[in-house]
Amino acid sequence: MAAILQIRDLKKTYEGGFEALKGITLDIEAGEIIALLGPNGAGKTTLISTICGITEPTSGSATVGGHDIQQEFRKARSMIGLVPQEINLEPFSVVEDNLHYSRGLFGKPRDEALVERILKRLSLWDKRRSRVRELSGGMKRRVLIAKALAHEPRVLFLDEPTAGVDVGLRKDMWETVAQLKSEGVTIILTTHYIEEAEAMADRVGVILKGQILMVEPTQDLMRRFGRKELRIELRAPLDALPAQLSDYDIELADEGQTLVYSYDTHADRTGIAGLMRSLNEAGIVLRDVQTRQSSLEEIFVDLVSEGSTEEEATA
Ligand SMILES: Nc1ncnc2c1ncn2[C@@H]1O[C@H](COP(=O)(O)OP(=O)(O)OP(=O)(O)O)[C@@H](O)[C@H]1O
């Protein structure tokens, strides 16, 4: 099946010559959630704005449901719901009017039942007659999502949906997104919160300086780049590593009180059994052991710093 969103060598140079997108190519399958991760200024918003027709690409192309974003703009755009980073709602507007109005803009007939479903799904039903300015920040964000869904898009862009939202509401938002996915909506979200990508996304795309560094299933990314650490707390501290341990990728920490052994989570053999035997032979007595998997955050920081170094090296 063809990808619902196909992006081909998309470039954007802003007036003044700044290259915000340097050739993005990406396929997104129907029904998946993809998180675009990248530091400030990486080009995430520019990518979304270009696909949504807010910004003109300098070159390259993209299709949504087979419709070219430039040649068939209206068809492509009607398949997209956009939840912008900024809360751009009219403060005096009534919540439900935003949905009816947005549907109208896309030339779709008024549909009370649909608006009711969307508002209920986003826990906004009892606020339907409230004015936007009376709502909390988190509620306003939900109105933005509700509004973006009013014309029944198949693809939803969420540009930093939980920026400035407290932890409880953030989890709430994740549940909403998971529910939308279960209804077949394709979701592309940008985020600074790595845990958000980890919790929600099927795939993660890392964007840096207008380029996609990599796109991988979230689990694969963590397995491939993630390392695990075995931290062994010792009964008595060591001054130096004994010779029996010289073959292991091992370090002393906590002033000799802890041995830290790093190993590949996807290797056939972790070497842990051998290490335990060697410790025994060396007469080292253990007090406690713990394992720790590197987080997506650490992987991301590594990837971004590697990406910057490579770019500098080739510049
Ligand atoms: N209209 C514009 N004219 C010139 N430069 C722009 C314009 N809009 C964005 N840029 C620049 O393009 C780069 C990418 O910006 P963009 O907003 O796409 O990044 P981002 O990855 O979304 O960042 P953030 O996470 O901070 O939102 C930035 O360096 C920004 O200053």
10-52 pLDDT, tens digit per residue, is: 999 999 999 999 999 999 999 999 999 888 889 999 999 999 9
For residue 103, tell me if it sits in a domain.
Answer: yes
Q: What is the CATH number of the domain that holds 280?
A: 3.30.70.100
**Are 135 and 246 part of one and the same domain?**
no
Ligand 1 test: best mutation among 45, 159, 212, 213, most atoms within 8 Å of CB? 45
| Pairwise pLDDT comparison (244 vs 78), residue with the higher score | 78
For residue 59, tell me if it sits in a domain.
Answer: yes
Q: Does residue 226 have a pLDDT over 60?
A: yes
Q: Count structural domains, the chain.
A: 2
Strand partners, 98: none
Which domain range does residue 87 map to? 5-223
Confidence class for position 266, pLDDT limits 50, 70, 90: low
**Are 201 and 244 part of one and the same domain?**
no
Ligand 1 atom closest to 39 (CA) = 25
- Residues having CB within 6 Å of any atom of ligand 1: 14, 16, 18, 20, 38, 40-46
| Pairwise pLDDT comparison (302 vs 144), residue with the higher score | 144
CA of 209 to the centre of ligand 1 (A): 10
Q: Specify whether the CB–CB gap between 18 and 210 falls below 8 A.
A: no
Q: Does residue 134 have a pLDDT over 60?
A: yes
Q: Specify whether the CB–CB gap between 198 and 295 falls below 8 A.
A: yes
**Are 153 and 132 part of one and the same domain?**
yes
With tokens 């996807």, the residue in question is 266
Q: Is the predicted ipTM greater than 0.90, yes or no?
A: yes
**Are 186 and 255 part of one and the same domain?**
no
User: Which CA distances in Å does 96 have to 84, 101, 115, 135, 142?
Assistant: 18, 9, 7, 13, 12
For residue 301, tell me if it sits in a domain.
Answer: no
CA of 39 to the centre of ligand 1 (A): 11
Ligand 1 atom closest to 16 (CA) = 4
Ligand 1 atom closest to 55 (CA) = 1
**Are 251 and 146 part of one and the same domain?**
no
Determine which of 89-93, 188-192, 229-233, 303-307 has the lowest per-residue pLDDT on average: 303-307
CA of 49 to the centre of ligand 1 (A): 10
**Are 159 and 253 part of one and the same domain?**
no
d(CA 84, CA 313) in angstroms, rounded, equals 35
With tokens 């958000």, the residue in question is 196
Helices (H), the chain: 44-51, 73-78, 95-105, 112-121, 137-149, 167-182, 194-200, 218-225, 272-281, 296-314
Give the model's pLDDT for residue 39.
Answer: 81
Q: Does residue 310 have a pLDDT over 60?
A: no
User: Which CA distances in Å does 250 have to 89, 108, 246, 258, 270?
Assistant: 55, 64, 8, 10, 13
**Are 199 and 283 part of one and the same domain?**
no
Confidence class for position 307, pLDDT limits 50, 70, 90: low
Give the model's pLDDT for residue 309.
Answer: 61
Determine which of 43-57, 97-111, 200-214, 260-274 has the lowest per-residue pLDDT on average: 260-274
Q: Specify whether the CB–CB gap between 81 and 155 falls below 8 A.
A: yes
Ligand 1 test: best mutation among 10, 18, 158, 159, most atoms within 8 Å of CB? 18
Give the model's pLDDT for residue 264.
Answer: 74
CA of 44 to the centre of ligand 1 (A): 8
**Are 212 and 271 part of one and the same domain?**
no
Percentage with pLDDT > 70 across the chain: 91
Closest CA to 167 of 193, 190, 191: 193
Ligand 1 test: best mutation among 15, 46, 213, most atoms within 8 Å of CB? 46
Percentage with pLDDT > 90 across the chain: 61
**Are 157 and 285 part of one and the same domain?**
no
Give the model's pLDDT for residue 265.
Answer: 67
Q: Does residue 312 have a pLDDT over 60?
A: no
For residue 179, tell me if it sits in a domain.
Answer: yes
Q: Specify whether the CB–CB gap between 135 and 143 falls below 8 A.
A: yes
Average pLDDT value for residue range 151-168: 85
Q: Please, what's the b/e burial string for 92-117 (b: 16 or more CB within 10 A of its CB; e: otherwise)?
A: eeebbbbbbebbeeeeeeebeebbee
CA of 20 to the centre of ligand 1 (A): 7
**Are 57 and 104 part of one and the same domain?**
yes
CA of 115 to the centre of ligand 1 (A): 34
CA of 288 to the centre of ligand 1 (A): 49
With tokens 């007036």, the residue in question is 15
For 32, residues 6+ apart whose C-beta sits below 8 A from its C-beta are 181, 186, 187, 202, 203
Confidence class for position 292, pLDDT limits 50, 70, 90: confident
Is this prediction's pTM over 0.90?
Answer: no
- The chain-wide mean pLDDT, for the chain, equals 88
d(CA 199, CA 171) in angstroms, rounded, equals 9
For residue 61, tell me if it sits in a domain.
Answer: yes
**Are 179 and 199 part of one and the same domain?**
yes
For residue 314, tell me if it sits in a domain.
Answer: no
Which residue among 201, 223, 245 closes a domain? 223
Q: Does residue 161 have a pLDDT over 60?
A: yes
Q: Does residue 302 have a pLDDT over 90?
A: no
For residue 315, tell me if it sits in a domain.
Answer: no
Ligand 1 test: best mutation among 11, 44, 162, most atoms within 8 Å of CB? 44
CA of 14 to the centre of ligand 1 (A): 9
Q: What is the CATH number of the domain that holds 16?
A: 3.40.50.300
For residue 309, tell me if it sits in a domain.
Answer: no
Tokens of 69: 């974003």
